[in-house]
Amino acid sequence: GNSVTQMEGPVTLSEEAFLTINCTYTATGYPSLFWYVQYPGEGLQLLLKATKADDKGSNKGFEATYRKETTSFHLEKGSVQVSDSAVYFCALSRAGGSYIPTFGRGTSLIVHP
Amino acid sequence: GAVVSQHPSWVICKSGTSVKIECRSLDFQATTMFWYRQFPKQSLMLMATSNEGSKATYEQGVEKDKFLINHASLTLSTLTVTSAHPEDSSFYICSASFSGEGADTQYFGPGTRLTVL
């Protein structure tokens, strides 16, 4: 079956540091890949997505590249801000009637001033 | 665009009572809606998937008679927690998607915090 594995958190960084959150997946075929972000006390929001190999999704300074050869979709940001503190979920979605999603367990990011 | 609301945002109820949570897509027609339960340490568990006008498909281990899901229209799905008990206390999140291009993307509601006393 499908699965998503992302690095354990929390990840603690100082402001302006470089961020990488690793995500690898297992799926048959060609899923779409996503990063969702959850700010404290809120629901999840789509951060970025990529639908095919070598696509790069980007938003708000965050980037992730769909790497089929390594089945990875690592999230990166060159300079984090305190306001980026949140929980980040890697996910995949495959056509199967209703695009049933598979989520990773989430990685908490804490950015200190 | 693609805004999903949930109501209520939080609810406290007594053990044995039933609680209904609404999930609405405000600016699009939601072909499919999903209900999740989020546990401490952020783990997100898919409870069920519902398509408008048909019965929900529940994930393994989720009690259908306890968590009643109705998706009567393209903009509204409801989750009713029947005979709630303290172990049902959790953060419940819905999401919605539409058909066609972009159907693989989910749009989430802000969540409902349920506390059962």
Instruction: Report yes or no: B49 at the A interface, CB cutoff 8 Å.
Output: yes
Contact B107 A46 (CB under 8 A): yes
Of B97, B109, B111, the CB nearest to A99: B97
pLDDT of residue A60: 95
Q: Report, as an integer, the average pLDDT of B101-110.
A: 84
Burial category of B99 from C-beta neighbours within 10 Å (exposed 0-12, middle 13-18, buried 19 and up): middle
Q: Are the CB atoms for A88 and A95 separated by under 8 Å?
A: no
pLDDT digits (tens, 9 = 90+) for B14-57: 999 999 999 999 988 888 899 999 987 777 889 999 888 788 99
**Which residues of chain B neighbour A51 with C-beta distances below 8 Å?**
104
> Residue A97 above 60 pLDDT?
no
Element (H, E) at B79: strand B76-81
Contact B104 A89 (CB under 8 A): no
pLDDT digits (tens, 9 = 90+) for B70-91: 988 889 999 999 999 999 999 9
Task: Please state, rounded to an integer, the average pLDDT across all residues of chain A.
Answer: 92
> Residue B103 above 70 pLDDT?
yes
Bridge partners of A102, per DSSP, are: A92
Dihedral, CA of residue B51, residue B52, residue B55 and residue B57, to nearest 10: 20
**Residue A37 contacts by C-beta under 8 Å, 6 or more apart in sequence?**
A44, A45, A47, A86, A87, A88, A89
Interatomic CA distance for residues B23 and B88, integer angstroms = 18
